[in-house]
């Protein structure tokens, strides 16, 4: 299944990671993206099937260009937890090329190269890939999807990052939010198109391909941009963040519980069908939904604190079609609950009682 989850922790009321293990087990989610290398989380998920992308924050980019400091970081943050915990990728920086701190841009590739070099020296470069997550703002053109191109002013950085991906085999991570497109142009963007709801869709005149949702069009636009840069189809694209807020400010149209349930619920059903985009129909879409929990300490508009599928006490914000179980707090099931999943959750609960 190509479904993963972003496990953000900018909050003061989240359940202990040891209990989140059971929640994700009941959701049958085995891919998690962290924004750091939290040792408590990585320890809690040892001997599970969960694969982790761990984050290396923008504030570390300067230090990570130094091989000595990069090696020290890996020895401290990665080595103690493998192979018991499955760390498969390190995301160096987040949305660096579209951020406000332009001094970080020339540091991105050297930091990625240095981390990769240390992993290679340790014999881990095939087990743990190195990448970075970009905002959708790195694209100059995104519509129609076949006309996708990267921003000209970023080419000096993007070209070398793409070369790095092509050589190392690491995925290209993109944070893609149809919500932002709708929020910025509610009069022009079809809400049904953004939410995977029935709509007339749009046809790419150059390819004849029909798109019935914005996210898949965005993904294919990224693939087109990579091809336009001369890298062909050698680089795999993953959606490292996508989601829809259940609450927002007055100037955030569409940020409602109903729309969040439709977006994430419809997305999850599409992912479960193992389908590809119109441009790559034989290749399942890989998506990390943002986010697992509402995070009450995130700065910015109200929406930033309301992307979670779950409240911190473990109850669902809405029914996205996933069944979930957080021991000691809640037992929630969708209409598709099966006997085997109920048994699994019961056994997990008994195990938790034995552990505590």
Residue 323 domain-assigned?
A: no
Q: Does position 339 have pLDDT exceeding 80, yes or no?
A: no
Residue 182 domain-assigned?
A: yes
Residue 196 domain-assigned?
A: yes
- CATH classification at residue 169: 3.20.20.80
pLDDT of residue 174: 98
Residue 333 domain-assigned?
A: no
Residue 217 domain-assigned?
A: yes
- How is residue 241 written in tokens? 């963040």
| 121-152 pLDDT tens trace | 999 999 999 999 999 999 999 999 999 999 99
Please name the residue ranges forming H helices in the chain: 17-27, 39-44, 61-64, 67-77, 105-121, 155-168, 178-184, 191-194, 214-228, 257-272, 339-355
pLDDT of residue 1: 63
Q: How far apart are CA 60 and CA 208, in angstroms?
A: 45
The one catalytic residue in 188, 197, 241, 275 is 241
Contact 237, 243 (CB under 8 A): no
Total number of domains constituting the chain: 1
* pTM for the full predicted model: 0.91
Phi–psi pair at 202, nearest 5 degrees: -145, 145
Q: Does position 76 have pLDDT exceeding 80, yes or no?
A: yes
**Domain span holding position 27:** 3-310
| 202-244 pLDDT tens trace | 999 999 999 999 999 999 999 999 999 999 998 999 999 999 9
Residue 208 domain-assigned?
A: yes
- Residue with the bigger pLDDT between 247 and 351: it is 247
224's CB contacts (< 8 A; 6+ apart) are 145, 146, 147, 148, 149, 279
Residue 328 domain-assigned?
A: no
272 is catalytic: no
| 281-318 pLDDT tens trace | 999 999 999 999 999 999 999 999 999 999 999 999 99
Residue 346 domain-assigned?
A: no
Rounded-to-10 torsion of CA 205, 207, 209, 212? -50
241 is catalytic: yes
The one catalytic residue in 95, 252, 261, 295 is 95
């Amino acid at each position: 299944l190509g479904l993963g989850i972003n496990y953000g922790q900018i909050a003061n009321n989240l359940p202990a990671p040891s209990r989140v293990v059971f929640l994700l087990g009941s959701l049958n989610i085995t891919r998690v993206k962290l924004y750091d290398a939290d040792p408590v989380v990585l320890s809690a998920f040892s001997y599970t099937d969960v694969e982790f992308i761990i984050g290396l924050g923008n504030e570390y980019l300067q230090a990570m260009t130094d091989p000595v400091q990069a090696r020290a970081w890996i020895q401290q943050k990665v080595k103690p937890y493998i192979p018991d915990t499955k760390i498969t990728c390190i995301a160096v920086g987040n949305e660096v090329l579209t951020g406000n701190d332009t001094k970080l841009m020339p540091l991105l590739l050297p930091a990625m190269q240095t981390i990769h070099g240390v992993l290679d020296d340790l014999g881990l470069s095939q087990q743990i890939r190195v990448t970075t997550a970009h905002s959708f703002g790195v694209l100059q053109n995104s519509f129609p999807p076949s006309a996708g191109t990267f921003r000209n002013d970023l080419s000096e950085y993007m070209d070398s990052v793409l070369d790095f991906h092509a050589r190392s085999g690491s995925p290209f991570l993109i944070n893609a939010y149809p919500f932002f497109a709708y929020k910025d142009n509610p009069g022009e963007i079809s809400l049904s198109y953004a939410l995977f709801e029935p709509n007339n869709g749009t046809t790419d005149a150059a390819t004849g391909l029909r798109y019935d949702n914005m996210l898949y069009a965005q993904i294919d636009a990224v693939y087109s941009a990579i091809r336009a840069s001369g890298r062909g189809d050698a680089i795999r694209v993953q959606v490292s963040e996508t989601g829809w807020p259940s609450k927002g400010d007055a100037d955030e149209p569409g940020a409602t519980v109903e729309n969040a349930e439709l977006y994430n619920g419809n997305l999850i059903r599409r992912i479960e069908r193992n389908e590809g985009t119109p441009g790559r129909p034989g290749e399942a879409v890989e998506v990390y939904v943002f986010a697992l929990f509402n995070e009450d300490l995130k700065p910015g508009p109200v929406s930033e604190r309301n992307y979670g599928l779950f409240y911190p006490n473990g109850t669902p914000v809405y029914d996205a079609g996933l069944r979930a179980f957080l021991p000691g707090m809640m037992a929630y099931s969708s209409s598709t609950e099966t006997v085997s999943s109920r048994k699994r959750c019961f056994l997990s609960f008994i195990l938790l009682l034995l552990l505590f």
